[in-house]
């Protein structure tokens, strides 16, 4: 009795894309998983806030370097449309590329990672999210203070000062009232609207509430200023600080002097 030979088929690889957090800029803060994923990629779609040092580490030692496409998104600057980025991710993944969307900070903390994951999964593309250290955490560390402290803050709020076009922005008075109950307020992308942010918070918080601003947190170029909520705008102007920057508001900043270490490199 003869049998016909079996046909062997290699199952098609499921298209997939990784959303990788590059952290605040220091390549030593990348996770091992992030670095391993970056070194397997054939296509890197890179945000503006990803540092050159992180990108250099991702490319180091590669016999066949991946294609690198810069798809920057910066407030107040010309940006790559989000819809274009999502179409590029989808088409490349469906074509069999090992796609990595490399983002500053963490993909799921004001990084549009949720929108991109929805777009990918809608096309049958598997999504892996690899977390990175968010710049808000790097900023508080640069200042020498934690987000939470048993004596000063029992929680933390992360909020963006940059609302989607046509959408209502945060209610700063409501957020200020929450901060008054012992929460640290970490504001991302708030520099362009800092005057409005300050005015709204002052409706619920006293002007002497501790505040600080850190520009380029987590990098060797980090700069910072201490102030109060009442002097926030004038202090930023006096120090010449600009984006990208994190604003920290709350009593936890009172712990700065006690917790500061010589390793802090903010001025």
Distance (Å) of CA 140 to CA 106, 186, 212, 215, 256: 16, 9, 9, 11, 10
What residue ranges of the chain have pLDDT lower than 70? 1-12, 73-78, 257-267
**Listed residue (209, 216, 223) closest to 244, CA to CA:** 216
Quote the CA–CA distance of 64 and 79 in Å, as a whole number.
Answer: 29
Distance (Å) of CA 8 to CA 11, 52, 232: 9, 45, 68
Q: What is the pLDDT of residue 267?
A: 52
pTM: 0.87
Where does CATH 3.30.950.10 sit in the chain? Answer: 135-259
Q: What is the pLDDT of residue 259?
A: 55
Q: How many CB atoms lie within 10 A of CB 225?
A: 20
Please give the CATH architecture assigned to the domain spanning 16-130: 3-Layer(aba) Sandwich (3.40)
Q: Which of the listed CATH numbers 3.30.950.10, 3.90.230.10, 3.30.70.100, 3.90.1150.10 matches domain 135-259?
A: 3.30.950.10
Task: Spell out where the chain has E strands.
Answer: 16-21, 43-46, 67-70, 99-103, 126-130, 155-160, 183-188, 210-215, 223-228, 245-249
Q: What is the pLDDT of residue 247?
A: 98
CB 39 within 8 A of CB 65: no
Q: What is the pLDDT of residue 75?
A: 52
Active-site annotation, residues: 47, 73, 189
Q: What is the pLDDT of residue 10?
A: 42
Q: 141 in helix, strand or coil?
A: helix
Q: What is the pLDDT of residue 168?
A: 78
Where does CATH 3.40.1010.10 sit in the chain? Answer: 16-130
């Amino acid at each position: 009795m003869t049998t016909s030979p079996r046909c062997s088929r290699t199952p098609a690889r499921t298209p997939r894309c990784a959303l990788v957090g590059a952290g605040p800029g220091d390549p030593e803060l990348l996770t091992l998983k992030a670095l391993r994923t970056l070194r397997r990629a054939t296509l890197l779609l890179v945000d503006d806030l990803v540092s050159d040092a992180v990108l250099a580490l991702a490319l180091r030692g590669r016999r066949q370097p991946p294609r690198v496409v810069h798809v920057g998104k910066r407030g107040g600057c010309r940006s790559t449309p989000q819809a274009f980025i999502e179409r590029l991710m989808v088409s490349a993944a469906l074509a069999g590329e090992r796609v990595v969307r490399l983002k500053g900070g963490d993909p799921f903390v004001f990084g549009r990672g949720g929108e991109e994951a929805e777009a990918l999964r809608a096309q049958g593309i598997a999504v892996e999210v690899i977390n990175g250290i968010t710049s808000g955490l790097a900023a508080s560390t640069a200042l020498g203070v934690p987000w939470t402290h048993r004596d000063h803050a029992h929680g933390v709020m992360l909020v963006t000062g940059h609302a989607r076009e046509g959408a209502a922005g945060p209610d700063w008075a409501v957020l200020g009232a929450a901060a008054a109950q012992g929460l640290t307020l970490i504001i991302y992308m708030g520099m362009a609207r800092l005057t409005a942010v300050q005015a709204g918070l002052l409706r619920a918080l006293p002007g002497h509430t501790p505040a600080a601003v850190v520009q380029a947190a987590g990098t060797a170029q980090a700069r910072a200023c201490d102030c109060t909520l009442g002097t926030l705008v004038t202090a930023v102007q006096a120090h010449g600080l600009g984006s990208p920057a994190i604003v920290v508001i709350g009593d936890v900043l009172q712990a700065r002097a006690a917790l500061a270490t010589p390793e802090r490199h903010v001025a």
